[in-house]
Amino acid sequence: MEKTVCELFAGVGGFRLGLERAAQDWITVWLSQWEPGKTKQYAHECYVSHWGDIDEYTGKDIASINKTDIPDHNLLVGGFPCQDYSVARPLTDISGIEGKKGVLWWQIRDTLLAKRAPFVLLENVDRLLKSPASQRGRDFGVMLACFADLGYSVEWRVVNAADYGAGQRRRRVFIFAYSNDTVYANRFVADAVGYMEELASDIMTNIGFFAQTFPVERNVVVKTEVLKYHDILATSEKFAFAFENAGYMHDGVVYTGKVVPVLEEPIPLVYMLERDVDEKYYLVGDRLEKFEYLKGSKKVLRKSKDGHEYIFSEGAIAFPDPINLPARTMLTSESSVNRSSHVIRDPQTGMLRLITPLEAERIQGFEDDWTNTGMPEKFRYFCMGNALVVPMVTRMGHTLNEIFHNE
């Protein structure tokens, strides 16, 4: 099978970079990267600076694109935000469903509907499996119902990048979907009638996409649930389920279990640090005092919208961040004055400082100065906070190489 890729919500190209590190014959035939509310599309410009552009539509809002115009491809990839995936019945179509405007999952679904890519690889924050709080598991249930309705089976895994040798403790859920008429799908279910729970367990711990890519211990307790995937509206309104960190869905039946990773040695933060860092990254005076306050424990009297007073409290976190461990999860707000920004003691000077944009790129597994393409420094951090851990994509790319070879 030809290794053609469509990359939605492409950011600065983490999926493409990771796949191309796995094999040079991965060919990106189309991409979409558009940041709403921004006059300058810095991430798109960064992407294009590395690979060139494909057409005049790659930097436009994906919602404005006619999905049938997207070139044919065999792998659809994308990292997209956790949003409200609830659906409603449109007044103009009693048999259809309508997702909330601006929710990017429906752009993925529409692309699948138009192009029928045989394989799909997506990334999201791990809370997707538990959202929304008022109906735990509904959003992921809606996604699975959509996949089932389109004739796909799905595997998923929550992966902490540091568990598999990376330099960041970043937990993300990866979703691998494949058409039920692929060789890969049929090698599982052809002889599994009556043994689906056993098969699901084997997929999660041994023979599945994620088990091959990110090894786990072999024992897992499997829970099952049936999706009414022919009625996605009913799924949206009523479905709730406690998804575990691994799972498999086939023909509308969900199998899930909690797996334990076979740990690999992570990269400590100290190995990703620059030398002779510019003094602007160092914390002194008021800036240092603000971070000391934000990182420390506190109890603050607050007032709710209805006038009720309450005590907000939070415990202290490591200050400075230990550089003998992997970095914490990097957010889009990295380097701003907030509790989540990394603060390290520079091993060269002994002074406290922020991490640099280049160090942020190393933490995510990009090449040095990948985002040094004309965007403001603040947006370089933003892009890295939004990005994938590239070595995790490369690992998945090696597994995909084998799957595509056999199709």
Supply the residues annotated as catalytic: 82
Residue with token string 């997929």: 203
Q: What does the H/E/C string look like for 121-153? A: EEEEEHHHHHCCCCCCCHHHHHHHHHHHHCCEE
Q: Per-residue b/e over 59-79, b at no fewer than 16 CB within 10 Å?
A: beebeebeeeebeebbbbbbb
| Dist. CA 350–CA 195, nearest whole Å | 60
The set of residues, in sequence order, having a beta carbon less than 8 Å from that of 300 and lying 6+ positions away, is 311, 312, 313
Question: Are β-strands 75-79 and 4-8 bridged in parallel, bridged antiparallel, or unpaired?
Answer: parallel
How far is the C-alpha of 55 from the C-alpha of 41, rounded, in Å? 15
| Count of CB atoms situated within 10 Å of the CB of 237 | 13
Q: Can you tell me the distance from the alpha carbon of 194 to that of 206, in angstroms, rounded to the nearest whole number?
A: 19
Cβ contacts of 126 within 8 Å, gap of 6 or more: 158, 171, 172, 173, 245
